[in-house]
Amino acid sequence: MSADRETNHTMTETDIALLLADAADEVEIGIAPYQAVIRGGRRRRARRWALATATALVVVGTSGGLALAGLGGGDGGEVSPAVTRQSTPPSTPEERHVYAPQETMLGAGTEKGETWYVTVDVWGAPRTEAEAQAQLNAMSNRGEEPWDKDKASALVGKITYFVRHSYGSGAPTLLMGDSASPQDTMAGTDLKSGASSLDPKKTDGPQRLVVGQVAKTAQTVLCTWKDGTSTEAHRVAAGADVNSDEATIRPAAGSPDNWFVCVGAEGAKFDSVKVME
């Protein structure tokens, strides 16, 4: 308090406002523990994966129940920063990627002269049933259909993803898909994965392609094969190059979780997979 204020022993409303403004300028606003609050106050919903019938898959999950179904056509992360006055969330369906997915390449390589790759399409969450119906139409045009394809309202407020697998000159096949709330994220050693043959046409071949979801904090995923060998997938930064036959964990645009891909040597057969750290 200044000397003249000490003399008068009286503060006006203007003085009080100035003092409060000065105090506010010295306060540091940290990151809101949004996910921590959500995780502490809710029960994780049972997750399910819809798996393409064209490829035989072994599914492993540690975050809830899984169910199998056919797909038509040919789910402790980082906390979110507090919203400031300068930042506004995307408002239009186009800005939220409701009608066109964000596509990320998760892994690629070569096998006997043939190129293979795995990508994931992530569709933004519709806010209304009308947006959801338009999204269903756009998905159908892309050859992708969600679990609840006949009920648009089931997609409202949910992100939907589809993992696509290509091999050689063949058309991409749908490997797996799911719809989930953006807040329903992986944590700790949570894991969802599917194993399939590298060549989608050889459904009875050894299952040595493993694809899955893990928490944003996961550093290493260990894929183990029945011959006793193993492959480690390590986390890379967003935008990192996709190198041939490299096992990695990476972010996918629009996805609240990270994704990994690992491939066993020729003849290897899938045994198990787990998050190491």
Task: Provide the β-strand partners of residue 109.
Answer: 116
Angle at 216 between CA 85 and CA 102, to 5 degrees: 70
Q: Is the pLDDT of residue 42 over 60?
A: no
Stretch among 6-10, 192-196, 229-233 having the lowest mean pLDDT: 6-10
Give the number of other CB atoms < 10 A from CB of residue 45.
Answer: 13
pLDDT band at 61 (very low <50, low <70, confident <90, very high): low
Q: pTM for this one?
A: 0.70
Where is 21: in which H helix or E strand? helix 13-25
Phi, psi at residue 118, to the nearest 5°? -125, 130
- C-alpha to C-alpha distance for 165 and 105, rounded to whole angstroms: 10
Average pLDDT value over all residues in the chain: 76
pLDDT in tens, 162-200: 999 999 988 888 888 999 999 999 999 999 999 999 888
What is the dihedral sign for C-alpha 190, 52, 150, 158? positive
Closest CA to 48 of 132, 161, 125, 141: 161
Sheet hosting strand 159-167, strand order edge to edge:
50-51, 173-180, 159-167, 114-123, 102-111
Phi, psi at residue 178, to the nearest 5°? -170, 160
Cα–Cα distance list, 196 to 37, 170, 224 (Å): 37, 16, 14
- C-alpha to C-alpha distance for 2 and 9, rounded to whole angstroms: 11
What would the two tokens of residue 81 be?
A: 């920063």
What would the two tokens of residue 184 be?
A: 């329903």
Q: Is the pLDDT of residue 26 over 50?
A: no
pLDDT for res 159? 96
Task: Provide the β-strand partners of residue 179.
Answer: 160
pLDDT in tens, 83-124: 444 467 778 999 999 999 999 999 999 988 999 999 999 999
| Cβ–Cβ < 8 Å for 194, 150 | no
- C-alpha to C-alpha distance for 203 and 206, rounded to whole angstroms: 8
